[in-house]
Chain A
Amino acid sequence: AQKVTQAQTEISVVEKEDVTLDCVYETRDTTYYLFWYKQPPSGELVFLIRRNSFDEQNEISGRYSWNFQKSTSSFNFTITASQVVDSAVYFCALSERSFSGGSEKLVFGKGTKLTVNP
């Protein structure tokens, strides 16, 4: 069965600190996708990144970077020089193709609440 674990429930940092959010996943499939979403206080889930199981290259987008390691089934997210606006709940998610209906439903972790203090 698919499972996503975000062991850090809450993290609090001071502005400009770097912070890493951990994500560990379980799947029996060889083809899958991993995602990170941000949920600010307004509630809307905002897509951040998609990574497929065959691409282990790390990715950097501005202050955001992602480290995907299949050997440890981890897909960690680092925010460099954090800002107050980064305060949100961050969700890691896993998707496999369901042959029963073709859906690519997302299985989410419980999320990590990040608070960046000024």
Chain B
Amino acid sequence: DTGVSQDPRHKITKRGQNVTFRCDPISEHNRLYWYRQTLGQGPEFLTYFQNEAQLEKSRLLSDRFSAERPKGSFSTLEIQRTEQGDSAMYLCASSLDSRGTSGFYEQYFGPGTRLTVT
């Protein structure tokens, strides 16, 4: 399977605990995005990497959230001191780099990690 993969698929944690999610993008894609989707809503942008550089963060990404993409390959999203409001589906997407072109490339999404904070 050469698509975007995410691990774990489901995570249940108690309020106050830290959690970490992993995303493996499509191998030739150097752009990686994280989105959050709550029930009945569309995904909302959290952050974006161009290779290993985190170039944009949404105001939705509080100080409790941190994302990394070491070596420009897989990415991790950590949430510290989880709150019930963090319960959501966390989606990772990857795409080719459109810089230097006149086009945009579609983003391919992984299956998501569903987080439940009790």
Closest B-chain residue to A105, C-beta based? B45
Q: Which of B42, B43, B93, B99 has the largest count of A CB atoms less than 10 A from its CB?
A: B42
Q: A95-B104, A104-B95, A108-B42 are in contact. Are A43 and B48 (CB under 8 A)?
A: no
Partner-B contacts on A (CB < 8 A): 4, 33, 35, 37, 42-47, 50, 52, 91, 93, 95, 97-98, 100-111
CA distance A60 to B50 in the complex (A): 33
Nearest-neighbor residue (CB-CB) of B6 within chain A = A44
> Could you list which residues of chain B lie within 8 angstroms of chain A, going by C-beta atoms?
31, 33, 35, 40-45, 48, 50, 55-56, 89, 91, 93, 95, 98-99, 103-112, 114
Nearest A residue (CB) for B58: A105
The answer to whether B55 and A102 have CB atoms under 8 Å apart is yes
Are A45 and B91 CB-contacts (below 8 A) given A93-B42, A102-B50, A103-B48?
yes
Knowing A44-B112, A45-B91, say if A103 contacts B43 (CB, 8 Å).
no
A35 to B43, CA, bound (A): 13
- Does the CB pair A110–B56 fall under 8 Å? no
| Residue pair B104, A109 in contact (C-beta under 8 Å) | no
Contact A110 B103 (CB under 8 A): no
